[in-house]
Amino acid sequence: MWVKICGVRDVESARIVAAAQPDAIGLNFYPQSPRYVSPTVAAEIVRELPEGITPVGVFVNSTAEEIVSVCESGGLSHVQLHGDEPPSLLAELRGAIPDLKIIRAFRIGPAGLGDAAVFLEQLVSLRGELFACLLDARADDRYGGTGRLAPWDLIRKEYDYEFWPPLILAGGLTPDNVAAGIAAVRPEGVDTASGVETAPGVKAADLVRRFVQAARK
């Protein structure tokens, strides 16, 4: 099980998270997020990370030029697009950084996965591919980090596991419910931010450790 801890915003938090040995950490470059980290601090975090933990840059409606600049200056090989980015942006990114691994997040509500299906169909016509799809809970006024549960049963029913990219489950996951989420949805990865915090952006070592252990069980 691939495990990502998102919203790491300083070097000390990165050390706390790294001690639990997740597969990846998320560095949020969305200025309106309480988990925002500047590109300068993010580069320091990347340098501190032990081998085997992948830094993932999280962007919300940034331009291709902005994303490429942060990736090149910070040494990022993975990005997560968590806004309303069109398939054409992925093509631009791949043109600039051919080996870039891209996660596309979709916010899922009662209407289901129709928007994701349309996006993925358009992406095929552009000959693009994703490292993974991340499914989060829909909140009309926010782009993630809400602590709300994604609709597990709906995702399990509608996600095309055979033909769509690997699925990463997010949305309200905690050490106490991540095992149930995995059993219900059968993702290839899980992602949490608020579920291992005592306050927005403040990671708790015990919660991070318990989350990673529960996910991998």
Active site residues: 6, 136
The most distant pair of C-alpha atoms in the chain lies apart, rounded to whole Å, by 45
**CB–CB of 62/33 below 8 Å?**
no
Nearest-CA neighbor of 6 among 22, 19, 214, 49?
22
Give the other-Cβ count within 10 Å of 48's Cβ: 13
Amino acid type, 175: P
**CB–CB of 195/147 below 8 Å?**
yes
Nearest-CA neighbor of 60 among 117, 142, 125, 120?
142
- 202-203 and 197-199 strand pairing: antiparallel
SS (H, E, C) 111-122: CCCHHHHHHHHH
* CA–CA–CA angle 71, 73, 76 (5° rounding): 35
**CB–CB of 113/104 below 8 Å?**
no
